[in-house]
Chains A and B, each alone.
Chain A
Amino acid sequence: EAEVAQSPRYKITEKSQAVAFWCDPISGHATLYWYRQILGQGPELLVQFQDESVVDDSQLPKDRFSAERLKGVDSTLKIQPAELGDSAMYLCASSLPGTSSYEQYFGPGTRLTVT
């Protein structure tokens, strides 16, 4: 069964450093989402892509976060510089286009710890 891939699974970085996360959605899934999940809370949408275009990045802290999906397939989320409050699980999800687009499939996540 196809799954969303993410790497790395764990990342420890010092504050003020740069960090990047990678996501490869399920083949054929045009919509890709990046979420941040703080322990004990629900996922918070950071950015939504449709193919290579950003649909919504209103919740992305653009002074330090950036996201791209250049060829409309895999995607990278970057934080520079990292802050202590960025410690969280970063989840990527993908969905099919069309009437099934609501069903989001999640990757295993990247747990980020900023020290």
Chain B
Amino acid sequence: GENVEQHPSTLSVQEGDSAVIKCTYSDSASNYFPWYKQELGKRPQLIIDIRSNVGEKKDQRIAVTLNKTAKHFSLHITETQPEDSAVYFCAAGDSNYQLIWGAGTKLIIKP
């Protein structure tokens, strides 16, 4: 079955710098790749997603890139702010509309 690996598990960046989180997936049939942000004790919230027919998508300070050949996708956050501190999860969607989740990245924004 599908497997999603996410790196790094913890990422600490200076406020204002950029952060990049990377994920790889194993099932070439996966065609939907969302990123969720989860603050401590709260629900996961969708922040951006990309479908397999698109290589890059941007939404203000957040962007996602997809390389289908290499089966990896990345989340880019520019001009990081304290409120970006959270755990970020990537996932890959299969043909049954199920999401296979990565293990998460704890993003720490240092003031």
- With the chains together, A44 CA to B99 CA distance in Å? 9
Q: Which of A37-71 contact B (CB under 8 A)?
A: 40-45, 48, 55-56
Q: State whether B42 touches A91 (Cβ < 8 A).
A: no
B96 within 8 A of A: yes
Tell me the smallest distance from the CB of B16 to a CB of chain A, in Å: 28
Query: How many A-B contacts if CB must be within 8 Å?
Result: 48
Interface residues on B, range: 20 to 34
Asked if A56 and B102 make an inter-chain contact with CB atoms under 8 angstroms apart, the answer reads: no
| Cβ-defined contact, B44 with A91, below 8 A | yes
Q: Does A31 contact B (CB under 8 A)?
A: yes
Bound form: Cα–Cα A48–B94 in Å: 13
Q: Which of B17-51 contact A (CB under 8 A)?
A: 32, 34, 41-46, 49
Stretch at the interface among A11-19, A73-81, A105-113: A105-113
Question: What CA separation (Å) do A45 and B98 show in the bound complex?
Answer: 8
Does B86 sit at the interface, judged by CB under 8 A? no
Docked CA distance A111–B40 (Å): 12
Q: State A55–B95 Cα separation when bound (angstroms).
A: 12
Chain B residues near A95 (CB-CB < 8 A): 97
- Indicate if B101 sits at the interface (CB-CB under 8 A): yes
Closest to B46 in A: A103
Question: Which residue of chain B has the shortest Cβ distance to A95 in the bound complex?
Answer: B97
Supposing A41-B104, A42-B89, A42-B104 touch, asked if A101 and B97 sit within 8 A by C-beta, the answer is yes
Question: In the complex, what residues of B have CB within 8 A of residue A48's CB?
Answer: 96-98
Q: In the complex, which of the residues B34, B93, B98, B102 has the most CB atoms of chain A within 10 Å of its own CB atom?
A: B98
User: Residue among B34, B42, B99 with the most chain A CB within 10 A?
Assistant: B99
Please list the 8 inter-chain residue pairs (A to B) with the smallest Cβ-Cβ separation, ordered nearest first.
Answer: A42-B101, A106-B43, A102-B32, A101-B97, A102-B93, A106-B44, A42-B89, A108-B43
